[in-house]
């Protein structure tokens, strides 16, 4: 199966991070306070360890901070127009209204940059940045940083450490498993904004015991390693090349490629009137694409960037599905590049 539906780093898994997970001691509970891990993550971000909150996964943190917002009296949650479904789902199960497209007075505000599924800059983040000097923020603002380490544009490309351009008035939610190609290891953490100590304590009180197991601890510890960061930065060059080839392939197939994606994924509209049936047929032939209907983008698919052999397989499967033949049996897509 060639899985284009995931946004995981296709250069992975990171060897050093994988080894750390494999040798983790699963016979004992981690330190319940995660003292050493919080110190390492705090040093990585240049903040006090007391501003680090551990989470079982990004989704677990989304539900936990939504519960905190509800406890604090929030009635609405603002989410981007097209976004990860758990933001809205966590709000709805707590009876909170969901406002798409922003809302300055809303008690809990979500942003994701690069956004998913489009990979674009989130205008809410720009507003947070521009207004942060001297600004008193009463709402809970959370920037989902899942794809920050996978930015491929020259201006915002990951350099091995968090950028100071990230807004300081918001929470930052980090899930390194995507960047390291180890999405099966569920572990995440959040960095509280300056002055967020009360919220840190409240979120910690809402957490179950040991939200992160031994393998998650090993992953997050490895994340702060210079060797792991060096691998990640090196992988971005490969992903840029693969992305250029994959977008060119989609254009050759007659698909309309959404412009502007900054990340290791992008959206496209396949040239078909029967997308649902075609996606099912492609999956049966070993090609999995992400239907973006749930993001509010019907007729669109999101494609994570994969290596040339996967792109060749997509090309061959699409041609076969459409009943077309490839001249002389030779693929003409991105797989010809080294």
Residue 165 has a pLDDT of 78
Helix 197-206 vs helix 58-71: angle between axes, to the nearest 10 degrees? 110
Per-residue confidence (pLDDT) for residue 338, from 0 to 100: 27
Q: Is the pLDDT of residue 135 over 60?
A: no
Lowest mean pLDDT among 53-57, 244-248, 279-283, 330-334: 330-334
Q: Name the residue among 178, 314, 179 with its Cα closest to residue 248.
A: 314
* pLDDT for res 164: 79
Q: Mark 289-325 as b/e (b = at least 16 C-beta within 10 Å).
A: bbbbeebebeebbbbbbbbbebbbbbbbbbbebeeee
The pLDDT value recorded for residue 4 is 98
pLDDT for residue 131: 67
Alpha-carbon distances of 235 from 104, 156, 290, 308, rounded to whole Å: 37, 15, 23, 15
Check residue 46 and give left, alpha or beta (phi > 0: left; psi -120 to 50: alpha): left
SS3 category, 155: coil
Quote the pTM value: 0.92
Encoding tokens for residue 159?
């350099």
For the record, the structure tokens of 318 come out as 């699409």
Over residues 87-99, the pLDDT tens digits come to 999 999 999 999 9
Instruction: Out of 19-28, 185-194, 288-297, 326-335, pick the least confident.
Output: 326-335
């Amino acid at each position: 199966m060639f899985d284009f539906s995931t946004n995981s780093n296709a250069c992975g898994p990171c060897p050093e991070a994988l080894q750390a997970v494999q040798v983790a001691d699963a016979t004992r509970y981690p330190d319940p306070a995660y003292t050493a891990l919080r110190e390492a993550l705090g040093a990585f971000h240049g903040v006090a360890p007391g501003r680090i909150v551990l989470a079982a996964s990004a989704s677990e943190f989304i539900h936990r901070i939504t519960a905190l917002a509800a406890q604090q009296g929030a009635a609405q949650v603002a989410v981007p127009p097209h976004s990860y479904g758990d933001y809205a789902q966590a709000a709805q199960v707590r009876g909170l209204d969901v406002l798409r497209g922003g809302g300055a007075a809303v008690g809990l505000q979500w942003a994701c940059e690069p956004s998913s599924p489009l990979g674009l800059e989130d205008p809410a983040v720009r507003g947070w940045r521009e207004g942060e000097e001297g600004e008193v923020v009463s709402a809970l603002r959370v920037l989902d940083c899942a794809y920050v380490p996978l930015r491929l544009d020259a201006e915002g490309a990951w350099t091995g450490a968090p950028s100071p351009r990230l807004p300081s008035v918001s929470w930052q939610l980090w899930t390194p498993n995507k960047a390291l190609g180890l999405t099966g290891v569920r572990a995440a953490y959040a960095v509280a904004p300056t002055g967020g100590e009360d919220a840190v304590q409240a979120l910690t009180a809402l957490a179950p015991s040991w939200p992160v197991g031994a393998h998650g601890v090993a992953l997050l510890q490895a994340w702060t390693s210079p060797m792991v960061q060096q691998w990640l930065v090196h992988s971005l060059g490969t992903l840029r090349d693969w992305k250029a080839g994959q977008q060119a392939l989609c254009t050759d197939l007659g698909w309309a490629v959404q412009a502007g994606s900054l990340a290791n994924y992008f959206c496209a509209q396949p040239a078909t009137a029967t997308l649902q049936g075609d996606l099912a047929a492609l999956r049966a032939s070993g090609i999995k694409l992400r239907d973006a209907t749930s993001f509010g983008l019907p007729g669109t698919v999101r494609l994570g960037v994969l290596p040339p052999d996967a792109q060749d397989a997509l090309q061959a499967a699409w041609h076969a599905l459409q009943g077309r033949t490839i001249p002389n049996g030779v693929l003409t897509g991105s797989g010809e590049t080294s």
